[in-house]
Amino acid sequence: MYRFTTRIKRAIRRVLESIGLRERTARRYDALFEAIHKLKPKTIMEVGTWNGHRAVQMIRAAADYHKPSEIHYYGFDLFEGMSPDLYDKELSKWPPSEDEVQKKLEATGAHIHLYKGDTNKTMPDFAKEVSDIEFVFIDGGHAIETVENDWRWTKEVIAPNAIVIFDDYWPKRGKDGGSKLIVDAIDREKFAVDVLPTVDSFSDTDFGPLDIQFAQVSPKAVETRSE
């Protein structure tokens, strides 16, 4: 009965997401834009572009410091590749089409680069072509192995001064998914890791009440020693 009820809830949620009625404003997102205003990046990468709304906000924040034509946005999502099975596995959101999101983001005036498909397949190829990404927002699939993959390849493409924001750090439900297990395992000798204090709490998730935080990660400067 529980499994049947959960599938019904997710089916309803999928319909609402597809018409844009489940987009929520959460307090933790303030830190996302604070980080952009601090770093002033020209290159932004987002794992989990979804409907492009957050991407537009990030591009506009960066455009406070640069011409839109100087900004490059790199976005990853399944887009039309989403299936009901993946939707359930990843505790995900149902995305619109790639073409729809491309047009929405191009209206910002920035250079838009979208990558459709499973990030286990798209990110390795991306990492061969792109480097020195300054700002990254990881908010894609919520299965632990997916977040682990996304972080693995993000490390390969970020600039020395980069800021990486992980969404879905679930302090009380880390074993169920999200980024907690991955963030907690990051090498503190190589990266500065800060779990941000703002907590958004939700009561209508698939496994009951859920607290969500951001985690911010940056490479530590490599010390150079004179001989």
Give 89-106 as a 3 state SS string.
HCCCCCCCCHHHHHHHHH
Closest by Cα among 31, 8, 21, 2 to 213: 31
100: tokens are 């729809």
SS3 153: helix
- Please determine, for residue 204, whether its predicted confidence score (pLDDT) is greater than 90: no
Antiparallel, parallel or unpaired: β 191-195 and 208-219: antiparallel
Q: What is the mean pLDDT of the chain?
A: 85
- Measuring CA to CA, how many Å separate 171 from each of 25, 148, 175, 208? 20, 17, 10, 14
| Overall fold of domain 24-219 | Rossmann fold (3.40.50)
Confidence of residue 23 (pLDDT cuts 50, 70, 90): very low
- Please determine, for residue 2, whether its predicted confidence score (pLDDT) is greater than 60: no
State how far the Cα of 161 lies from the Cα of 37, in Å rounded to an integer.
14
Confidence of residue 101 (pLDDT cuts 50, 70, 90): very high
Over residues 41-55, the pLDDT tens digits come to 999 999 999 999 999
- Asked if 110 and 72 touch (Cβ cutoff 8 Å), the reply is yes
Over residues 157-203, the pLDDT tens digits come to 999 999 999 999 999 999 989 999 999 999 999 999 999 999 999 88
Confidence of residue 104 (pLDDT cuts 50, 70, 90): very high
